[in-house]
Amino acid sequence: MEAKPKGKLFIVTAPSGAGKTTLVDALVKSEPSLKVSISHTTRPRRSKEEDGVNYHFVDKGKFLDMLQDGAFLESAEVYGHHYGTSHAWVEEQLLQQLDVILEIDWQGAAQVRNLMPEACFIFILPPSLETLTERLKHRAQDDEDTIDKRMQQARGVIEHVAEADYIVVNDDFDTALVDLQAIVRSQRLTTRHQQRNLAKLLDSLTRG
């Protein structure tokens, strides 16, 4: 039986403060068939965040129950808080031939890549560590000690950049967004992807 065409899975990761959330939000708005996965987390909700929009906020007990039940495609503990991506939701979107983007840390990205090696892995970098520090300070969400910890972790995260398929430097926002759009479009045009999605057309063109 011929496999049903599926959507494409994109993974976006970056050190904290590199601007991946803002870029992913803009990318999804510009690409109607691209759906962003909303992670579950035990992290406290920030003032401007909405449950079910930014994250699914759950307590630790609920999260661990879901983890035990195998509900997550990937999960990670970051700064003492748990994060996880719903496996069922991702599969449902892909089966509907919708493309899905996961905005997750590099540990989660590695887990997904092991399970779904066909996923496209994108790494977003800041133009410099100095710029990254300034961005963390400017968003005014963390105290100095937390910013220092994030910067220490950022160096370790960046060491994994070679694991990605694509690298986008977020120096100029508009340029970085165009780069992301180009990656999405190029992945939708690969032979492997098109052979599944254009099976009927290819068959009609070669049958004669």
Give the distance, in angstroms, between the CA of residue 157 and the centroid of all CA atoms in the same chain. Answer: 15
The string of DSSP codes covering 26-85 is HHHHH-TTEEE---EE-SPPPTT--BTTTBEE--HHHHHHHHHTT-EEEEEEETTEEEEE
Answer with the residue of higher pLDDT: 118 or 195. 118
CATH architecture of 9-37+98-207: 3-Layer(aba) Sandwich (3.40)
Range 118-127 average pLDDT: 94
d(CA 174, CA 126): 14
Exposure of 26 in the CB half-sphere (CA atoms within 13 A): 14
In this predicted structure, the answer to whether residue 147 has a pLDDT above a threshold of 50 is yes
pLDDT tens digits, one per residue of 43-77 = 999 888 999 888 999 999 999 999 999 999 999 88
Tokens of 48: 């401007």
Answer with the residue of higher pLDDT: 192 or 53. 53
